[in-house]
Amino acid sequence: MGAVKQAVWRASRPLRRVVGHVRWRARRTTGDVVDRFRRGDRTVIATPGGMRFGNWLYLWLASHQRTAEGSPTLVLEVPGMAPWLEQFPALSALTIRKQDLGFHDRREWKGGFALQRFGVDFTREALQRFVREVLAPGLPTTAPAPVAVNVRRGDYYAYDGFRSRYGMDIEGFVREALVQVGPVPGILVVSDDPQWCREHLGEMLRAAAQEVSFAERDPVANFLAIASAPILIGTNSTFSYWGGYVTDAIQDGARVVMPRFHARMDDGWDAYQLDPAWTALEGFDGRGDPAARTAADGA
């Protein structure tokens, strides 16, 4: 793909996501009418457009939990899931292809909090059971570094609409998180923008650890790295949250540090996905400073 085409493709990404979501909404409206006639024993959780791995995992968690309780539930497969189904084969048993749907399969999507509220939509026990039974077999046996720092940037900072909602003081947060963690021998930085991390966090991280490395962009490899780290510093992303859930479930004494802030939403700014047992740092969200909503990351 040429540089111009690539730039156009990147610039159109938010519009394509919006269009995909609108189409999904239209299909749901039509489906709601038809669903009145569906009375099968199996429920299929619809998968909205615009979701990615961190969001999908909450749907798979709900599927696993409900199926274990005696209500067979599956998640509708969508493009992009294939690499994850390959890495974690047990997810396939919780997933159904569109062509395999039966007319009488019940369809469900409640929207709202997207099944992500810790202690409301799922319990710690159900979460850890899901991790150990479904995800753990696909994880590496050793961690690539004592500490992983996962920084979400990408569309959060590429577009004004997303930046005004999700933008946070990444540098300030990481600095405070390192204080919480203390001196460590090595840090692996995992991000969808490793170059930004090198430029803005490199000096700070090298002052805190003897060895600092930056992972190449590879979603599956990146997730395996953060999910196996005994200490994880994450940011306001479901990808980070799931790294924390997994390492917490499979390792005794794992430590997870996250920002309390998730996004500037009408129903609140705090991350309802956080495990109360984690260290959640307050601030770093530009609260009370409108200018910080677009400049919180220093870019």
DSSP state of 216: P
Q: Range with the lowest mean pLDDT among 6-20, 95-109, 120-134, 175-189? A: 6-20
Average pLDDT of the chain to the nearest whole number: 88
Give the pair of three-digit tokens for residue 190.
């995992």
Q: Under a CB-based contact definition with an 8 Å cutoff, are residues 45 and 59 in contact? A: yes
Cβ atoms within 10 Å, residue 183 = 9
Q: Which of 102, 118, 137 is the last residue of a domain?
A: 137
Mean pLDDT, residues 124-138 taken together: 97
Regarding whether 120 and 160 lie in a shared domain, the answer is no
Contacts of 166 (CB under 8 A, 6+ apart): 156, 157, 236, 262, 263, 264
Q: Is residue 129's pLDDT more than 90?
A: yes
- Please tell me whether residues 100 and 147 are part of one structural domain: no
Tell me which residue has tokens 């990351």: 297
What is residue 113's predicted lDDT score, i.e. its pLDDT? 84
Reported as a pLDDT band with limits 50, 70 and 90, residue 262 is very high
* 43: nearest Cα among 61, 65, 66, 21: 66
- How confident is residue 48, by pLDDT bands cut at 50, 70 and 90? confident
Using the 3D structure, point to which of 89, 106, 137 is the last residue of a domain.
137
Taking residues 171-191, report their average pLDDT. 96
pLDDT: is 185 or 109 the higher one?
185
In this structure, what is the dihedral angle of CA atoms 146, 130, 56, 168, given to the nearest 10 degrees?
A: -40
pLDDT of res. 177: 97
Whether residue 268 is found in the same domain as residue 161: yes
| Separation of alpha carbons 285 and 269, rounded Å | 9
Q: Are residues 183 and 90 in the same domain?
A: no
pLDDT at 264: 93
Residues 158 and 288 in one domain: yes
**Burial tier of 231 (Cβ tally within 10 Å: 0-12, 13-18, 19+):** buried
AA letter at 299: A
The yes-or-no verdict on residue 4 having pLDDT over 90 is no
Instruction: Check residue 233 and give its pLDDT.
Output: 98
* Tokens standing for residue 148: 């992983």
Identify whether residues 152 and 123 lie together within a single domain: no
Question: Could you tell me if 165 and 263 are in contact, meaning their C-beta atoms sit under 8 angstroms apart?
Answer: yes
Do 33 and 177 sit in the same domain of this protein? no
Evaluated on CA atoms 15, 16, 17, 23, the torsion sign reads positive
- Closest to 298 (Cα-Cα) out of 211, 173, 124: 173
Overall average pLDDT of the 135-142 stretch: 95
Alpha-carbon 114 to chain mean position = 12
* The pLDDT of residue 293: 46
Last residue of a domain, one of 74, 102, 137: 137
How much of the chain is helix, strand and coil, in % rounded to 5?
A: 45, 15, 35
Answer yes or no: is pLDDT of 272 > 80.
Answer: yes
Instruction: Work out how many domains the chain is built from and give that number.
Output: 2
Q: What percent of the chain has pLDDT over 70?
A: 82
Q: Assess whether 273 and 213 both reside in one domain.
A: yes
Same domain, 54 and 150: no
Q: What was the pLDDT predicted at 149?
A: 98
The neighbour count for residue 195, using CB atoms within 10 Å, is 11
Answer whether residue 12 shows pLDDT above 90: no
Which of 22-36, 76-90, 241-255 has the lowest average pLDDT? Answer: 22-36
Residue 186 has pLDDT above 70, yes or no: yes
Residue 294 pLDDT grade (very low, low, confident, very high; cuts 50, 70, 90): very low
Same domain, 278 and 185: yes
Report the C-alpha gap between 230 and 252 in whole angstroms: 9
Domain interval for residue 16: 3-137
In this structure, the answer to whether residues 22 and 163 fall within a common structural domain is: no
Cβ-Cβ contacts under 8 Å for 127 (sequence gap 6 or more): 61, 118, 245, 249
pLDDT at 41: 82
40 and 107 share a domain?
yes
On the question of pLDDT at 137 being above 90, the answer is yes
CATH code for the domain of 158: 3.40.50
Q: Above 80 in pLDDT, residue 65?
A: yes
- Rank 45-54, 109-118, 212-221 by mean pLDDT and report only the highest: 212-221
Q: Give the model's confidence band at 172: pLDDT under 50 very low, under 70 low, under 90 confident, else very high.
A: very high
